[in-house]
Every structure is written in C-alpha cells, then in structure tokens.
Amino acid sequence: MTGSTRPVCVLVGAPGSGKTTVGQALAATLGVEFRDTDADIERLAGKPIPEIFIDEGEDHFRTLERSAVAAALASYAGVLALGGGAVLAEENRAALVGHRVVHLSVELPDAVKRIGLGVGRPLLAINPRATLKHLMDQRRPFYAEVATTTVVTDGRTPEEIAAEIAQLLRTEG
C-alpha cells in the first residue's frame, strides 16, 4: 500500500442494499468516518440529486459523480459509499481496482421494502418496481466485477451486516 490516503472500504450496491445505513454502522464499528459520494455531489451542486436530474439531466449527474468518486477514492480514509449507478462508468470501475470493495447484495423484494418505491429517486419515478428490477439486473455484473467481497443483506439488520464486514476487514488485514 502506498502512502496515499485510501478508504478503509468502499460499499457498492443497488438502491436499497443499505450502502448508507450499513456504511454508517460500519464506520461507527470501526471508529472511522462515513462518506457518501451522493452527498458530496449534492453539496457541490448545491441541490438534491433529483433536481440535478431534472435541471441538467442524467449525463451531467454522471459527470459530477465521476469527479466525486475520483476525489473520494484519492483522499478519503473512512468508509465510502458510492451511488448505486457509479459502477456504470468504466473510469469508476477502473479507479476501484486495488481498493477493498464490498458489494452489498440485495434481492428485489428487500430493496423495494427498504426504498419505498422511489420517493426522491429520479430513475425510479416511472414504474418503480420494474425499473428497479431492470437497474439491478443491468448493474449486477458491474458490482461483481469491482467487488473484492460480496455480502448478502436480505433479511438482515444493518448492524449484523456491518459486523460481518468489520470481521472480513480484520481477517483481510
């Protein structure tokens, strides 16, 4: 490992997989800070992500996302959660090489229960259940590609999942 600052681990997964909730619990368990690139984007843009989609479109959002991911991977030392679609960009996938990346796996029924079918989620505005299934199917191979570990989240509490990830990080050293 170089002398640069790197995240303890990076969480990726579909909407509703628990990236933010598990990430916060994991950070507390490990005694580090939690950061979410979606929150970084909102702070930089000065508006919520749904407004970015409406005002400037998805392409503009994805450009902001690539910058946020690159900056966080290069300069952040805590638990980092990426937006669900961040893995779609080849440069984000390439930037994740060499990082500890945990894919939080979730199946459609649990994801639907957790996110409440898209309130405030621009990509889920129309036919949320079908759209979420499509997004999950489309992104699953990318999550698998970047992940060093996959943790199943279905039917489990954020604390149980965080404890499993913390144990994995300790054994990976």
Distance CA 118, CA 15 (A): 9
88 domain-assigned: yes
39 domain-assigned: yes
Which residues neighbour 140 within 8 Å (Cβ) at sequence distance 6 or greater? 14
3 domain-assigned: no
Number of domains in the chain: 1
Residues 87 and 142 sit within 8 Å (Cβ to Cβ): yes
Of the candidate ranges 15-19, 34-38, 86-90, 107-111, the one whose mean pLDDT is the lowest: 107-111
Distance CA 154, CA 94 (A): 28
Query: Structural domain of residue 73, as residue ranges?
Result: 9-172
C-alpha distance across the termini of the chain, in Å: 12
- Report the CATH number that the domain containing residue 55 is assigned in CATH: 3.40.50.300
4 domain-assigned: no
**Residue 71 pLDDT more than 80?**
yes
pTM reported for the whole predicted model: 0.90
Confidence bin at 52 (pLDDT 50/70/90): very high
98 domain-assigned: yes
Give the count of beta carbons closer than 10 Å to the beta carbon of residue 149.
15
